[in-house]
Amino acid sequence: MPFTDLRQFLAVLEERGDLVRIREEVDPKFEIAAYIRKTSDAGGPAILFERVRGSTIPVVGGIFAHRRRAVLALDATPEVAVDRFNSAIASLLPTRRVSSGTCQEVVHRGQEADLTRLPIPTYSAKDCNPYITAGMVVSQDPETGSKNASIYRLEMKDGRRLGILCSAGHHLAMQFARAEARGKPLEVAIVLGPSPATLMATQWEAPYGVDELALAGALHGQPVEVVKCQTVDLEVPASAEIVIEGRILPAVREMEGPFGEYTGYYTDTSPKPVIEVTAITHRRDAIFQALLTGVPTTENHVIKMVPLEASYYSMLKARFPGVRAVHFPGPGGVGLMAVVSMRQTIKYEARSVIMAVLSATRNKLVVVVDDDIDPYNLEQVMWAVCTRAQPDQDMTVVPRLAGGYLDPSSRERDANCCLGIDATRPFGQPFAEVATVPGLDRVPDPSLWGRDSK
Ligand code: MN
């Protein structure tokens, strides 16, 4: 069964040699980010920073720096991770309230709730301030009470205040708009270090009103146990590491940014809502979770892959039974590019798939390939593009679609030009045969060559 808290997961990573401890003191300003960058680029382990300057709380980072750990967090294999995620979506388990939790072993309220005691890292050279990047923001609709949990970037402005980016259309932004229209603040609880499956559950494209924690429960195979917060009327996973309680203030906007984003570029500075902190609770020996974003591929990209692939796979499969797999590659920031592999059942079906994916608003480039192409292997994908598609007949350009929120090439705010490439062989027509070498199964793996085979 998947890990129901962060501790269990870290213990297993360490056992497998996929978590290293850094015992020398590190600076939360850039140094933690530099370690995570290196492990991301090298496909290396997760990192536990035992001593962080200016705080008594250790930091874990790079948990999602490689897809193998995202797959392990679901207790899956690469082949079944997407299916497991989709089966969980089909069997949501609501949270279960419990009376106490380790996330509240230590409680700081009011003036005692001081963000500067937390080891909040600064990631990229021009980031305006330290950022909380793995904070799961829990909130509820002020009218219906429906719940939401998702990750938003949070700027530490000072010891008591955070700036938050939640673009229009995000569920939290919809809830906040409703609260603000009544002149009321919106209560939030920012959860650091829930189980890794819970963090992945927040990246599911859930319909508005569906609690992402119910998916976390389904992924765990048991309901997520939640406790009531101390100063806000919300519930948070009982075994989380740290919880920051607060409220988004109505009619308040302050400049936020620049911040190095998932596209690999800094985003503009603009006025954003502000959270006033009302309490910080945590485990006695809490661990702070860092998460790097920036030039792909980082953990901020990897954490979204399986959830997005699952969302799009089930959406497409329902309409196009020949769809075999969907991949969101790192270079597209996991959102700007999708690759779909399929076996067409009717003429031009790949083009209908292109339109379906583009109309889901977050994609800029969609490539559809035949089912003999591995969509996870961009070398194979580009081979198909170069040898199975002719630009004048197999490309579709849509001049403007909603999207492109952080894409620096967007010439018009919140709009993108989109491209679909049908790199499938024309349906029902003869096509050049793929050249193959026979007998591959009789040759051992290269790592065994030159050794005594007896
Ligand atoms: Mn939601």
User: Same domain, yes or no, for 273 and 340?
Assistant: no
What distance in angstroms lies between residue 424's CA and the mean position of ligand 1's atoms? 35
Q: What is the pLDDT of residues 24-72, one digit of tens each?
A: 999 999 999 999 999 999 999 999 999 999 999 999 999 999 999 999 9
User: Same domain, yes or no, for 263 and 173?
Assistant: yes
User: Same domain, yes or no, for 115 and 240?
Assistant: yes
What distance in angstroms lies between residue 147's CA and the mean position of ligand 1's atoms? 8
What distance in angstroms lies between residue 204's CA and the mean position of ligand 1's atoms? 8
Number of structural domains in the chain: 2
What distance in angstroms lies between residue 213's CA and the mean position of ligand 1's atoms? 10
According to the model, what pLDDT value does residue 168 have? Answer: 81
Residue 93 lies in a domain: yes
Give the range of the structural domain holding residue 137, as residue numbers without chain letter. Answer: 81-284
Residue 44 lies in a domain: no
User: Same domain, yes or no, for 276 and 327?
Assistant: no
What distance in angstroms lies between residue 359's CA and the mean position of ligand 1's atoms? 19
According to the model, what pLDDT value does residue 453 have? Answer: 55
Residue 244 lies in a domain: yes
What distance in angstroms lies between residue 15's CA and the mean position of ligand 1's atoms? 34
Mapping DSSP onto H, E and C, the string for the chain reads CCCCCHHHHHHHHHHCCCEEEECCCECCECHHHHHHHHHHHHCCCEEEECCECCCCCCEEECCCCCHHHHHHHCCCCCCCHHHHHHHHHCCCCCCEECCCCHHHCEEEEHHHCCHHHCCCCECCCCCCCCEECCCEEEEECCCCCCEEEEECEEEECCCCEEEEECCCCCHHHHHHHHHHHCCCCEEEEEEECCCHHHHHHCCCCCCCCCCHHHHHHHHHCCCCEEEECCCCCCEEECCCCEEEEEEECCCCCEEECCCECCCCCECCCEEECEEEEEEEEECCCCCEECCCCCCCCCHHHHHHHHHHHHHHHHHHHHHCCCEEEEECCHHHCCCCEEEEEECCCCCCHHHHHHHHHHCCCCCCEEEEEECCCCCCCHHHHHHHHHHHCCHHHHEEEEEEEECCCCCCCCCECCEEEEEEEEECCCCCCCCCCCCCCCCHHHCCCHHHCCCCCC
User: Same domain, yes or no, for 277 and 378?
Assistant: no
User: Same domain, yes or no, for 242 and 342?
Assistant: no
What distance in angstroms lies between residue 137's CA and the mean position of ligand 1's atoms? 10
User: Same domain, yes or no, for 271 and 327?
Assistant: no
Residue 337 lies in a domain: yes
CATH number of the domain encompassing residue 129? 2.30.110.10
What distance in angstroms lies between residue 388's CA and the mean position of ligand 1's atoms? 39
Residue 419 lies in a domain: yes
What distance in angstroms lies between residue 208's CA and the mean position of ligand 1's atoms? 5
According to the model, what pLDDT value does residue 414 have? Answer: 83
User: Same domain, yes or no, for 256 and 124?
Assistant: yes
User: Same domain, yes or no, for 120 and 269?
Assistant: yes
User: Same domain, yes or no, for 247 and 389?
Assistant: no
CATH number of the domain encompassing residue 325? 3.40.1670.10
What distance in angstroms lies between residue 140's CA and the mean position of ligand 1's atoms? 10
The distance of Cα 221 from the centroid of its chain, to the nearest Å, equals: 21
Residue 16 lies in a domain: no
Residue 199 lies in a domain: yes
Q: Low-confidence residues of the chain, pLDDT below 50?
A: none
Residue 311 lies in a domain: no
According to the model, what pLDDT value does residue 451 have? Answer: 79
User: Same domain, yes or no, for 277 and 326?
Assistant: no
Q: What is the pLDDT of residues 225-265, one digit of tens each?
A: 999 999 999 999 999 999 999 999 999 999 999 999 999 99
User: Same domain, yes or no, for 273 and 324?
Assistant: no
Last residue of a domain, one of 231, 261, 284: 284
